[in-house]
Amino acid sequence: MSSTEAVQDDGPPPSVLICLLRLDLRIEDNALWHFAHTGHAPPSTARPTSHNASKLPREEELFSRSTHLLPLYVFDEREVELSGLPGYVRKGPEARTQNFNFWKTGAFRARFIAESVYDLRSRLRDRGSDLCIRFGRVEDVVANLVKAFQDQSTNVEGVWMQKEMTSGEVGVEERIEERLRPINVPVKYVHCKTLIHPADLPFEIEETPDVFTPFRKRVEALGPAMVRPLYHAPAAFKAFPRTIPQTEDYSLDVTYEVDVDGLATADPESKPKDPKQTSFYDILRYLVLPLNEVHFPPTVEGSSILQQRHHASAFPLRGGESSALERLDWYFVRGKSPDSTTWGKSDPPPVARYKQTRNNLIGHSYSTKMSPFLAYGSISPRQIWQALMHHESIFGEDQNIYWVKFELLWRDYFFFVAEKFGDLLFHLGGFELATDPPQAQKKLVPGWWKTWDPIKEEPPQELTRMLEGRTGIPFIDANIRELRESGFLSNRGRQNIASYVAHDLGYDWRIGAEFFQSYLIDYDPTSNYGNWAYVAGVGNDPRASRRFNIIKQAKDYDSHGEYVKTWLPVLRGLPTYYVHTPWLLDAEERRRYGVKASEQIVTMDSYPGRPMTEDEGWKKHYERKEGAGSRMHGNPQEKVKDGKVKRFRKP
Ligand SMILES: Cc1cc2nc3c(=O)[nH]c(=O)nc-3n(C[C@H](O)[C@H](O)[C@H](O)COP(=O)(O)OP(=O)(O)OC[C@H]3O[C@@H](n4cnc5c(N)ncnc54)[C@H](O)[C@@H]3O)c2cc1C
């Protein structure tokens, strides 16, 4: 069959439903697949109407009579730099962050996205479907595909997608609608992003409380109605179009089958490959290639991205729904090993220790590690909720389970509050511009925040040191290095970095937010900018300032210095007493422990002799006894306060 023939020769006239996948790269609990396989409108809506229901598209009424279903994923040039693809001509500027010119999608996330897309394709193929993978600008690819189908007399029933909430994604939706309106192709949306369906909120989205606790209390009062049941994936999908018409868009032959489950192994691409075919690793190389140009800040060597993950990474998992489901099963259900024979009440899975471990810094099991999967929709928050309910049904209610639920509500809160305040999410003045304008204006006077213009000037030295992990403050440097070398960072680390950038250094907090945007595998606009604004004191925090005492934090949460030593090997020989404050070493001690004092570089045997900044408030924590408290508990300082551990004074 040639590429211009219709999708089907006989039977009902061919029609295609295009489902555009963006941040919902999964099969399970995805309303798109449910409604795409629902052939008739339901007799009446099952759910009562709520405040927001009248304003939202009524997804319950969606149904499809199309003969074919085309799942589509587009690598969008505005999000991921595509200039490394052979022959690709960008239509717009480089994929850089809004103000400070970082690459929007760094190498770790590029890899994670590619893994997620390939995994989705493999899972769709298992169900008799497939995934059309394209590169370009989403609205162009969609509009050109629709037109090409119509030109070959195939009706396009509609274009469906998950509704997103932040301006970049909403802009794409609007442009797709604009392009398809004149050719009468409807664009429809489903809502699967949040734990609580927006139509079920007990208030208008515009009335979302300005702080978290009232929000939480009001939604928790919904009881079991707070979270809708899951959509189960159809066992078999509607037919994938037999051919996809050619369009003017850039395309690659990505038909080469990759052993997705083996991506971490030595040679997942062992099958013979036609030279015209592009493999997963080819794509990865093309995506990572441009990121290695000399730009500020220097990126991690692309080659390391293509190899194994960092041995100490707290997120050693590949992207995609298969990986997400394995992790869900391990963390919430099965625990230590897939075939643990001791599984049961005496040996509950890791989630049963979440509240105690969530502030730890080392290893993968201290927290759920669901965030990257949630960010790309390889898992839905409802699936996690269901796993929590399942756990409770076996082990009973407990604080650990509640704490994960609590965090999932934070995630929802940031979505709804971002929807309420729109682009203030990305504004230096934050949501405070709406909630307390006089206070916000004070923080917008020139000089309140330090800044830098990436177009006109070199970055200030202290900023470069900060972003490269060379401040001479081990807890800061270790966290930055973990982020740069693995693409992941604990919540504790993120809070400390945010506080240090916004309060200790006093820089425009968005520099840090954009830096995180570039490097984090789990980057999500609302959680990232929402949390940065929160720590910077311009977000949804009822407290005026959330400045962290870095040395106190380091000693509370890394009391034995193991975390710092993991990411800063130069400090491995130091006794715990000095590990967070190496500037207290005298010359003789430096010789003994093999740490030379450098000006501002970090090597295998030298570390900055002085911290880049030193706060008076740190000094009272210099002398805390080594190892006070336990590494396994969130805040060992509590024990010090109880008076169980005596204060230690340096002789
Ligand atoms: C400055 C800063 C930037 C951040 N940027 C992001 C980001 O870009 N993407 C992102 O997903 N999270 C972000 N977070 C929130 C949080 O750090 C991560 O969600 C969490 O560390 C991810 O690890 P986990 O999945 O193991 O979390 P867990 O502790 O296991 O929590 C379970 C889930 O709850 C949600 N959650 C937990 N804490 C938060 C929080 N503070 N805000 C919103 N949701 C939360 C996440 O979806 C997470 O997966 C940021 C936090 C800070 C302080």
Select the more confidently predicted residue: 628 or 9: 9
Q: Strand (E) positions, 587-640?
A: 596-598, 606-608
CA distances from 297 to 212, 300, 303, 511, 516 (A): 35, 9, 17, 12, 12
Partnered with residue 277 across adjacent β-strands are: 253
Nearest CA to 213 among 541, 440, 634?
Answer: 541
Residue position matching structure tokens 């917008």:
444
* Cβ 209 vs Cβ 218: under 8 Å: yes
Tell me the pLDDT band of 334, cut-offs 50, 70 and 90: confident
pLDDT recorded at residue 62: 92
- For residues 392-414, give the mean pLDDT: 94
Q: Is the pLDDT of residue 59 over 90?
A: no
Neighbours of 617 (CB within 10 A): 12
What DSSP state is assigned to residue 310?
P
650 exposed, middle or buried (CB, 10 Å; 0-12, 13-18, 19+)? exposed
> Does the pLDDT at position 479 exceed 70?
yes
The larger pLDDT score, comparing residue 540 to residue 96, is at 96
What is the rounded distance in angstroms from the CA atom of residue 16 to the CA atom of residue 34?
16
Say if ligand 1 is within 6 A of residue 406 CB. no
**Ligand 1 binding pocket includes 410 (Cβ within 6 Å):** yes
Q: Could you write out the DSSP letters of every residue in 388-450?
A: HHHHHHHH---HHHHHHHHHHHHHHHHHHHHHHHGGGGGSTTTTHHHH-HHHHHHTTSTTSSB
What is the bridge-based pairing of β-strands 187-190 and 132-136?
A: unpaired
pLDDT band of residue 276 (cuts 50, 70, 90) is confident
Counting every residue written for the chain, the total comes to 651
Tell me if 555 sits within 8 A of 561, measured CB to CB: no
Instruction: Identify the burial level of 489 via C-beta atoms within 10 angstroms of its C-beta, where 0-12 means exposed, 13-18 middle and 19 or more buried.
Output: buried
In short, whether 532's Cβ falls inside 6 Å of ligand 1 is: yes
Q: pLDDT of 132-186, one tens digit each?
A: 999 999 999 999 999 999 999 999 999 999 999 999 999 999 999 999 999 999 9
**Mean pLDDT of the 277-298 span:** 76
Q: Give 195-239 pLDDT, tens digit per residue.
A: 999 999 999 999 999 999 999 999 999 999 999 999 999 989 999
Which of 146-160, 329-343, 455-469, 599-613 is the least confident region?
329-343
CA distance 534 to 543: 9
pLDDT for 637 equals 32
Helix (H, G, I), strand (E, B) or coil at 189: strand
Mean pLDDT of 509-519: 97
> Which pLDDT band, with edges at 50, 70 and 90, does 558 fall under?
very high
Q: Is residue 126 marked as binding?
A: no
pLDDT value of position 387? 96
Q: Is residue 26 pLDDT above 90, yes or no?
A: yes
Residue type, 617: G
Question: What's the pLDDT score for residue 543?
Answer: 77
Average pLDDT over residues 359-374: 96
CA distances from 475 to 448, 514, 516, 579 (A): 26, 21, 17, 9
C-beta of 640 in contact with ligand 1 (< 6 A)? no
Give residue 517 CA to ligand 1 midpoint distance, Å. 13
| Distance in angstroms (rounded) separating the CA atoms of residues 474 and 643 | 28
- Residue 631: its pLDDT value, please? 40
Q: Side chain identity at 62, as an amino acid letter?
A: L
Q: Is the CB of 382 under 6 A from ligand 1?
A: no
Q: Is the pLDDT of residue 345 over 80?
A: no
Tell me, what's the pLDDT at 641?
27
Three-state secondary structure call for residue 57: coil
Q: How far is Cα 578 from Cα 565, in angstroms, rounded to an integer?
A: 11
pLDDT digits (tens, 9 = 90+) for 543-554: 777 899 999 999
How large is the average pLDDT for residues 237-250?
95
487/302: higher pLDDT: 487
Lookup result for tokens 């969008």: 76
Which atom belonging to ligand 1 lies closest to the Cα atom of 358? 29
Integer Rg of the chain from CA: 26
Q: How many Å apart are CA 516 and CA 375, to the nearest integer?
A: 14
* 3-state class (DSSP) for residue 160: strand
Which residues pair with residue 17 across a beta bridge?
Answer: 69, 158
In the sheet where 68-76 sits, what is the strand order? 132-136, 68-76, 15-21, 155-162, 187-190
Q: How far is the CA of 322 from the centre of ligand 1 (A)?
A: 21
Tell how far the Cα of 491 is from the centroid of ligand 1, in angstroms: 6
DSSP output for 103-121: BSS-HHHHHHHHHHHHHHH
Residue 446: pLDDT above 70? yes
Q: Is the pLDDT of residue 287 over 80?
A: yes
Task: Name the H helices within 152-211.
Answer: 167-180
Task: Kindly give the distance from the C-alpha atom of residue 391 to the centroid of ligand 1, in angstroms, as a whole number.
Answer: 21
How far is Cα 388 from Cα 404, in angstroms, rounded to an integer?
Answer: 8
Condensed to tens digits (0 to 9), the pLDDT of residues 578-622 reads 999 999 999 999 999 999 999 999 999 999 999 999 999 999 999
- Read off the pLDDT of each residue in 114-135 and give the average, rounded to a whole number: 95
Most confident of 248-262, 417-431, 531-545: 417-431
For ligand 1, whether the C-beta of 256 sits within 6 Å is no
CA of 250 to the centre of ligand 1 (A): 35
**How high is the pLDDT of residue 339?**
46
Ligand 1 centre distance from Cα of residue 192 (Å): 18
Cβ 473 vs Cβ 612: under 8 Å: yes
**Between residues 264 and 380, which one has the greater pLDDT?**
380
Phi then psi dihedrals of residue 302, to 5 deg:
-55, -35
% of the chain exceeding 90 in pLDDT: 76
- Would you state the pLDDT for residue 627? 45
Tell me how far the alpha carbon of residue 410 lies from the centroid of ligand 1, in angstroms: 9
Q: Is the pLDDT of residue 577 over 80?
A: yes
Closest CA to 16 of 346, 238, 304: 238
Report CA torsion sign: 117, 120, 126, 129: negative
Q: What's the whole-number mean pLDDT along residues 518-523?
A: 97
Give the SS3 label for residue 96. strand
Residue pLDDT, tens place only, 81-94? 999 999 999 999 99
Six-digit token pair at 138?
């989403």
**8 Å CB contact between 63 and 33:** no
Of the chain, the percentage scoring pLDDT greater than 70 comes to 86
Distance between CA 231 and CA 74 in Å, rounded?
24
Amino acid (one-letter) located at 71: P
Atom of ligand 1 nearest to the CA of 528: 5
Question: 223: left (phi > 0), else alpha (psi -120 to 50), else beta?
Answer: left
Q: Per-residue pLDDT for 127 more than 90?
A: yes
Is residue 518 marked as binding? no
Minimal-distance CA residue to ligand 1 atom 47 = 371
Average pLDDT, the chain: 88
Q: Which residue has the tokens 């080594």?
A: 626
Q: Is the peptide bond before 297 cis (omega within 30 degrees of 0)?
A: yes
- Asked if 557 and 359 count as a contact pair (C-beta separation under 8 A), the reply is yes
Structure confidence at residue 48 (pLDDT): 52
CATH numbers and ranges of domains, the chain: 15-40+59-192+231-255 (3.40.50.620), 196-230+309-421 (1.25.40.80), 424-536 (1.10.579.10), 550-641 (1.10.579.10)
In whole angstroms, give the CA distance from residue 486 to residue 464.
19
Contacts for 630 with CB less than 8 Å, ≥ 6 apart: 559, 636, 639
367 lines ligand 1 (CB under 6 A): yes
pLDDT greater at residue 14 or residue 413: 413
- DSSP structure class, residue 500: I
Listed range (30-34, 217-221, 345-349, 631-635) with the worst mean pLDDT: 631-635
Q: How confident is the model at residue 299 (pLDDT cuts 50, 70, 90)?
A: very low
Helix (H, G, I), strand (E, B), or coil: what is residue 133? strand
Query: Which residue's CA is the nearest one to ligand 1's atom 21?
Result: 491
**Residue 368 Cα, ligand 1 centroid: separation in angstroms?**
10
Q: Are 29 and 383 in contact (CB under 8 A)?
A: yes
* Atom number in ligand 1 closest to CA 495: 53
The answer to whether the annotation marks 151 as part of a ligand binding site is: no
Ligand 1 lined by 408 (C-beta under 6 Å): yes
Grade residue 60 by pLDDT with cuts at 50, 70 and 90.
confident
pLDDT recorded at residue 298: 42
- For position 46, what pLDDT does the model report? 52
Ligand 1: which residue has its CA nearest to atom 19? 371
